[in-house]
A and B are shown apart, each in its own frame.
Chain A
Amino acid sequence: MEIVGQLQKQFVDFSTSLNHEGFLDEQYLQLQKLQDESNPDFVCEVVSLFFDDSEKLLNNLATALQQQVVDFKQVDAHVHQFKGSSSSIGAQRVKNMCVAFRNFCEEKNLDGCLRCLQQLKHEYFLVKNKLETLFRLERQIVEAGGTVPVIG
């Protein structure tokens, strides 16, 4: 099965690159370990949840930062949430961005916050893209009759 082999190689390369580039860290590997016969779609479910959660948070952040009087505590709370969920997933770059964001919140630096928000959005969409590609590769491998290789 040439195709399966190729797909698998693609998958491995892609995963490794994600890790090297800092998009996903060890936590993601831990998540993959939790997937078994009794819980076959665990990673997919968690990631979907993350996407939903993140989009909500980003909207809330945008709204909060557009207020006349910005409530930095509220903003901090949202960012904190985002940090939590991204670290649970293993989205490293997103998490790091959140840390920076929180600093700006503590300083009550609105510009900094707004800039961070932009960067945060950017990072989020990047990692989202990567994850979707990863899942697509997994699906292709499974459809071609192969098994998804386990990294790490």
Chain B
Amino acid sequence: MEYCNCFESPWPADELLMKYQYISDFFIALAYFSIPLELIYFVKKSAVFPYRWVLVQFGAFIVLCGATHLINLWTFNMHTRTVAVVMTTAKVLTAAVSCATALMLVHIIPDLLSVKTRELFLKNKAAELDREMGLIRTQEETGRHVRMLTHEIRSTLDRHTILKTTLVELGRTLALEECALWMPSQTGLELNLSYTLHHIMPVGLSVPIQLPVINQVFNTSHAVKISPSSPVAWLRSSGNNMPGEVVAVRVPLLHLSNFQIHDWPELSTKRYALLVLTLPSNSARQWHVHELELVEVVADQVAVALSHAAILEESMKARDLLMKQNLALDVARREAETAVHARNDFLAVMNHEMRTPIHAIIALSSLLQETELSPEQRLMVETILKSSNLLATLINDVLDLSRLEDGSLQLEIGTFNLHSLFREVLNLIKPIAAVKKLYVTLILSPDLIEHAVGDEKRLMQVLLNVVGNAIKFTKEGGVTVSAFVTKSDSLRDPRAPDFFPAHSDNHFYLRVEVKDTGSGINPQEIPKLFMKFVQSQPLATKNPGGSGLGLAICKRFVNLMEGHIWIESDGPGRGSTVIFIVKLGIPARLNESKLPFLHKAPGNQIELNFSGLKVVVMDDNSVGRMVTKGLLVHLGCDVLAVSSAEECVRAVSNEHKVVFLDVSMAAVDSFEVAVRMREKFSKRSERPFIVALTGNTERMIKEKCRKVGMDGVILKPVSVDKMRRVLSDILEHGYLVESQ
């Protein structure tokens, strides 16, 4: 018998069982073959699969298993040895591969597992990043809100708008239930509720500033969470609502503009306002850090904006004030100008009005003196005369001084004899000095020129005043007047460092020293002497004289003459010296010579300029008046023609240099005009020259003219040449050289 490998089954082979096994093996093989196909298919599809060779291994394992099971199908029945060998080979291979695979999987599975872990880890990370992104976005939002808020706040300079905007924007950004600003009161002891967003609390509520919660907030620059039940966060009792969290922050109120945003000066700011923010109740929201930061930033910005607004308000107020002040000053200035004008007008009028009666009094009193008087009457008249002279001097001084102050006084420059000026002053002084038994000495330096150009009248006035003062304040001894030309070095007065006399070719500086042996002056009093209306009280004197103006006027005249005047004294009882320096011109020899003017031959045309010379023509005959006027106009004069004596006397002023009177007028006595004009102008230098025009060749007329004080007579008809000669003669000499 053949050796049979078939198993002797203990039980008889069941056909059914066999069938089922047969089918199962078949399906198993199918599955085993299809799995690698699937794997290959899907792996081919996927892009990334790091374990290909594992796949191959696995595939091989599966295939072999499948083959095994497939071959198993043939072993159910009687099978040949080949089948048995194939079966055995397949099983052996399968065993090998499966063991290899099993071993390999030990390595692979942890790897696969770790992939999963990484994946989980990455997912977590992504979630975290998402969260953070959300946070950043929120922050960015709030940042945007802050910027917008700041922009809103800073875009206006009105404090109310600033504050209201702040509250509105904050409320919107942070979704607040209530936002309130408490401002310190004027006294600084209370906080008043000034602005609220939703008006949950009434405006005007006030709270004392010394509450601990408020102090706590004020002491830090951070936003502080406070209890919802504190007075500043007071909510109306809203039942059983859970009140939202409350945060308060201080808002510094600055009044200065020098602050730095990150470095609040702790000391200088004393006043704070309180900003209280309430989250909605029942919202379970909490204050986040970034929200608190936002609130702090906003508070800073509000502080800045408020201070800017305050500064602007102040500067507007200051500007308004300045404008008002300007207007007031303008008005005041105009008023002052008007006052000055009024004063000048007044002075101008009083000048004439006051002088006229005074002169009348003086003239008539002197005339009265000439008549027969009893001794008492004579005494009375003398007193009247003295008083009125004093008054006249006083008036003149005051009026002169006011003109000097205005700067309206101008020097009348002319050529004069310097030596004779000194002599004249001394002659005037000598009688008074003789009465007081004082000597008067005049020393004229040999290099002092005889003639000079300057204001003779004012210089004489200064000299007279100074010498007169010397005499007045000297009881014994005398007065010495010395005059010399000075060089630049000795001109400098140590007390007048600003006085820089400049030399030039046609000017020189005259230095006059008036030394007296009188009562002397206290050195401290010296500056006061030159001030108006100040009288130094001499020690024991009954001298009432002087208005105190004399030296002040002298000083001004000397200054006008570009000079300087000062007093030196060694003290009371040691006498004093008045020194003044004035600038005078040197007359050019050729054309300013005062040599007698010889009558030139008619052919010699002298170009003398009469342009602008003011003259008056009086003639009641209209034709004759017109002809004479035409004559003078042709020569360049500024002619005023009058037709009556009244008009003539009224119109003539000291600006007119010559008055031409027609004496052939029958109805009017022209001689009377001459007399009245002499009366009107008491000073010789102010009076115009009076020239008579007559067609009458009688000698009587000439005599009469001379007697009434006329300066010349011209026979009509007058030619242009004749008039020119007459004018030049009269202006040169003051009288007509020969009768024309």
| Residues on A facing B (Cβ under 8 Å) | 26-27, 30-31, 33-34, 36, 38-39, 42, 45-46, 49-50, 53, 76-77, 80-81, 83-85, 87-90
- CB contacts (< 8 Å) of A81 on chain B: these are 621, 666
| Given A31-B627, A84-B695, A87-B716; A77-B666 close (CB under 8 Å) | yes
Residues from chain B with a CB closer than 8 A to the CB of A80 are: 664, 666
Asked whether B622 is an interface residue with its Cβ less than 8 Å from the other chain, the reply is yes
Count A-B contacts at CB 8 Å: 69
The 5 closest A-B CB pairs, nearest first, are A85-B623, A88-B624, A84-B621, A88-B627, A34-B634
- The answer to the question of B633 belonging to the interface, with a C-beta cut-off of 8 Å to chain A, is yes
Interchain CB contact (< 8 A) of A46 among B626, B634, B716, B720:
B626
B-side interface residues, number (CB < 8 Å): 21
Q: Which A residues are in CB contact (< 8 Å) with B664? A: 80, 84
Indicate which residue in B622, B633, B717, B720 contacts A85 across the interface (CB closer than 8 Å). B622
- CB of A84 within 8 A of CB of B623, answer yes
A39–B633 CA distance with the chains assembled, in angstroms? 9
Contacts of B621 in A (CB 8 A): 53, 81, 84-85, 88
Chain B hits for A30, CB < 8 A: 631, 717-720
Give A85 to B719 CA distance when docked, in angstroms: 16
Task: Indicate if B357 sits at the interface (CB-CB under 8 A).
Answer: no
Give min CB distance, B664 to chain A, whole Å. Answer: 6
Given known A-B contacts A34-B630, A39-B633, A88 and B666 have beta carbons under 8 A apart: no
Give the residue among B716, B717, B720 with the most A Cβ atoms within 10 A.
Answer: B717
CB contact under 8 A between A76 and B634, given known A88-B621, A88-B623: no
Question: Would you call B590 an interface residue if the criterion is a C-beta within 8 Å of the partner chain's C-beta atoms?
Answer: no
Please state if B634 and A39 are interface contacts (CB–CB under 8 Å).
yes
Distance in angstroms from B235 CB to nearest chain A CB is 102
**Is A53's CB under 8 angstroms from B622's CB?**
yes
In addition to A31-B627, A53-B621, A84-B623, 11 A-B residue pairs with Cβ atoms within 8 Å of each other are: A26-B717, A30-B717, A34-B631, A39-B630, A46-B630, A80-B664, A80-B666, A81-B666, A84-B621, A84-B664, A85-B624
Q: In the complex, are the beta carbons of B695 and A87 less than 8 A apart? A: yes
**Sample (8) of A-B pairs whose CB atoms are under 8 Å apart:** A30-B717, A34-B631, A34-B720, A39-B633, A45-B626, A80-B666, A85-B621, A87-B717
In the bound complex, what is the Cα–Cα distance between A76 and B665 (angstroms)? 12
Closest A residue by C-beta to B695? A87
**What 1/0 flags go to B622-640 for Cβ under 8 Å of A?**
1110111011011000000
Q: Mark B607-628, 1 if CB is under 8 A from A, else 0.
A: 0000000000000011110111
User: What A residues does B633 contact at CB under 8 A?
Assistant: 34, 38-39
- Residues from chain A with Cβ under 8 Å of B719 in the complex: 26, 30
Contact residues in B for A84 (Cβ distance below 8 Å)? 621, 623-624, 662, 664, 695
Is B667 in contact with chain A by the CB < 8 A criterion? yes
Q: Which residues of B contact A85 (CB under 8 A)?
A: 621-624
Which residues of B have CB within 8 Å of A39? Answer: 630, 633-634
Closest to B722 in A: A30
- With a cutoff of 8 Å between Cβ atoms, the chain A residues found around residue B662 in the complex are 84
A85–B626 Cα distance when bound, in Å, is 10
Q: A30-B720, A36-B634 are in contact. Are A49 and B666 (CB under 8 A)?
A: no
Residues of A within 8 A of B667 (CB): 77
In contact, A33 and B720 (Cβ under 8 angstroms): yes
A77 to B, closest residue via Cβ: B666
Task: Tell me whether A53 and B631 are in contact in the complex, defined as CB-CB below 8 angstroms, given that A26-B717, A84-B664 are known contacts.
Answer: no
Which of A27, A34, A53, A83 is within 8 Å of B717, CB to CB?
A27
Chain A contacts for B717, CB-based, 8 A: 26-27, 30, 87-88, 90
Task: Give bound CA distance, A26 to B626, whole Å.
Answer: 17
Q: How far is the CA of A38 from the CA of B639 in the complex (A)?
A: 14
Give the chain A neighbours of B630 by CB distance below 8 A.
31, 34, 39, 42, 46
